[in-house]
Chain A
Amino acid sequence: MELTRRFLPLVEAVGIPVMALLVAMLLFAGFVAAVGQSPLEVFVLLYKGAFGSSFSWQNTLLRAAPLILTGLAVAIPAQAGMVIIGGEGALALGALTSAVAASALQGASPHWVQAGMLLSGALCGGVWIGLSGWLRQYRGVNETIGSLLLSYIAIALLNFFVEGPLKDPASLNKPSTAPIGDANMIGNLPGMDVHYGLLFGAIFALVTWVILKFTTVGFALKTVGGNPRAAQMAGLRVNYWIVGAAFAGGSAAGLAGAIEVAAVQGAANASVVAGYGYAGILVAFIARQNPFAVIPVAVLIGGINAAGGMLQRRLDMPDATVLVLQGIIFVVIIASETLNGRLRLIKFKPLSPVSAAISAKT
């Protein structure tokens, strides 16, 4: 009894999202049947396209790499009670800055170029989302709306520079910045067709998780987010923590953009704005804002994205099919928050004082 009681938070944290995912799958099956396709066939193809072969695994992991980081862009500020949804823009700016850094560092050794790209991308993304936190603290601008508006502005900036002042004249069909050069590209993990960005994302997530769990940082953020006045009384500088959390989240999204340029595109262009920022919101909410859980959830959502192509080819379903599935999952996951703390009522009767005394002795 004591043991189950101790593990109840874990059961709740894993059980409720898994249950919600199953419900969402059922609803999606109904939707698929309603548009005249076989749900079974769709699920089989989803599985095959996501995890069915080593090729699909690699495709899945390639998409999971940015999703881990954009998921963190939502999950880290959430520790301090913020709902930030501007990851897409921070990613776009990170991509743009990293391409500028690459052209500024041309001639340096590839490692320096790569380091410069990743750092400048992360810094720029951090400043952009940090701005949402700053606006919230100092001007009272709601961070959800503020970060989304900043995101639209960032995407406009990327498009402006890529098609204007920074356009490489050689890029005709697809306006891009000057290529960073093949020698400077980030390579693949040993034995895989997946680039090092996946590792960087996973390390970012693990380090964040360790810091939040084993240092006082996590507690400070929770206090700041939960009760700013109490945090102030306890001597915490609320504004610093809030802006810092937003900065850390934004730097993850900016890093994702830099990696997309350094490992996939080879130049900044509009292709980096591919919805990773928005899917990252979903990742963070399924993972219940836990940085460690962000990793497996990003693989799951990356898998669903990767399988979209197969649904398109085999069943001639629109590429938006996976967006519908993600939308249904999102709505059900948020609605399932209502079950928090209620499993306790179903499964456990409160201990009577006598039995509590007995179990305390044993």
Chain B
Amino acid sequence: MVAVDGLGWWGVPLAIFAGAIRVSTPYLLVSLGECITEKSGRINLGLEGVLIMGAMAGYGTSLATGSAWAGVLAAGLVGALLGLLHGLLCSLRRVNDIAIGISIMLFGTGLAFFLGKPLVQPQAPMLNAIPFGFWSSSPQIQSALQINPLFLIGIVLAVVLHYAFRYTRWGMQLRIVGDSADAALALGLRVLPTRILATVIGGFLAGVGGAFLSLYYPGSWNEGLSSGQGIIAVALVIFARWEPLRCLWASLLFGGAGALGPALQAMGITSGYYLFNAAPYVLTLGILIATGSPSRTLAGAPGELSLVRN
């Protein structure tokens, strides 16, 4: 929690800025992963479960090995495994990707609660942040500019993906598979393996996003750790119109909304605590309502995506 008392009311925007960066990191990683998956023509609603499994696996591995980065890697691998499960099951005929996603959401959550039971008490090594605020003498600013490397990795990834989707062979193949399976087949592309791989990568990133939750902010493992961040990230990809760079801005916006409750609470305003904490859901829904339309498909949507073919 950022100490805001010294700066008075100015502490609120500062706390929201600092909070936005911290809270947005899981959104950023999960939404970039989901962006890759959805570009291939599939939607993985199970990322909520993957996120929680990643948080649990990351925390447990960090505790066992003493290295938080080993935890991040383990979380990614667990996420990739769940992504593989989703990708394989969706490849069966007549199996609906939305339904599989819901089942993976419940399965991942249940499994993480089961395996994570012994992890509630002990304290695992945390990820370290990079102190970008070293130049300032104000402890508030120093604390606000503590930035986690995973956030920076997310920014780099967003830029790389932005160009990869447009200019690389791999990116173009992925988009063709996602836009029209028939066209992809005609070009001799392998549709199912591409989609499975895209879901595995999406699962990996969502797992890493989970590790950020348990190993940095809020930085502990408990059953209330994630409450819908995975689902919000899926909705965020729609808002970002399947563009990695817009995912970055949208994540920051959602991070700011998510930081509103804790920032006001730190100021001593506790009465509307639950309502402020619901801000990200209201924002997500508001954006979906404002940008949606019943008559046309969304601009930029991959053609094979079941989500937009109501």
A residues near B, CB below 8 A? 83, 85, 135-142, 144-146, 148-150, 152-153, 156-157, 159-160, 163-164, 278, 281-282, 285, 318, 320-328, 330-331, 333-335, 337-338, 340-341
Contact partner, B292, options A140, A157, A160, Cβ 8 Å: A140
Q: How far is it, in angstroms, between the C-alpha of A83 and the C-alpha of B307 when the chains are bound?
A: 11
Q: How far is it, in angstroms, between the C-alpha of A328 and the C-alpha of B107 when the chains are bound?
A: 6
Q: Contacts A139-B294, A320-B113 given; indicate if A334 touches B307 (C-beta within 8 A).
A: no
Q: Contacts A139-B294, A145-B234 given; indicate if A324 touches B275 (C-beta within 8 A).
A: no
CB-based contact B95/A153 at 8 Å:
no
Measured between beta carbons, the chain B residues less than 8 angstroms from A140 are: 292-295, 298, 310
Measured between beta carbons, the chain A residues less than 8 angstroms from B93 are: 338
Q: How far is it, in angstroms, between the C-alpha of A167 and the C-alpha of B136 when the chains are bound?
A: 45
Of the listed stretches B11-19, B159-167, B181-189, B276-284, name the one at the interface; the rest are far from the partner chain.
B276-284
Q: Is B29 an interface residue (CB 8 A)?
A: no
5 tightest A-B contacts by CB? A323-B110, A327-B107, A320-B113, A156-B278, A140-B292
CB-based contact A152/B228 at 8 Å:
yes
CB-based contact B235/A327 at 8 Å:
no
CB-based contact A320/B110 at 8 Å:
yes
Chain A, residue nearest B108 (CB)? A327
Measured between beta carbons, the chain B residues less than 8 angstroms from A142 are: 238, 288, 307-308, 310
Chain B, residues 298-310, CB within 8 Å of chain A (1/0): the string is 1000000001101
Measured between beta carbons, the chain B residues less than 8 angstroms from A320 are: 110-111, 113-114, 117
Q: Is B274 an interface residue (CB 8 A)?
A: yes
Q: Is B4 an interface residue (CB 8 A)?
A: no
Q: Is B96 an interface residue (CB 8 A)?
A: yes
CB-based contact A337/B293 at 8 Å:
no
Measured between beta carbons, the chain B residues less than 8 angstroms from A333 are: 103
Chain B, residues 220-257, CB within 8 Å of chain A (1/0): the string is 00000001100110110010000000000000000000
Q: Contacts A144-B98, A331-B89 given; indicate if A152 touches B110 (C-beta within 8 A).
A: no
Q: Is B45 an interface residue (CB 8 A)?
A: yes
Q: Is B102 an interface residue (CB 8 A)?
A: yes
CB-based contact B274/A146 at 8 Å:
no
Measured between beta carbons, the chain B residues less than 8 angstroms from A141 are: 285, 288-289, 292
Measured between beta carbons, the chain A residues less than 8 angstroms from B45 are: 144-145
CB-based contact A139/B227 at 8 Å:
no
Q: How far is it, in angstroms, between the C-alpha of A282 and the C-alpha of B307 when the chains are bound?
A: 21
CB-based contact A327/B111 at 8 Å:
yes
Q: How far is it, in angstroms, between the C-alpha of A164 and the C-alpha of B275 when the chains are bound?
A: 11
CB-based contact B100/A318 at 8 Å:
no
Q: Contacts A149-B231, A318-B114 given; indicate if A164 touches B271 (C-beta within 8 A).
A: yes
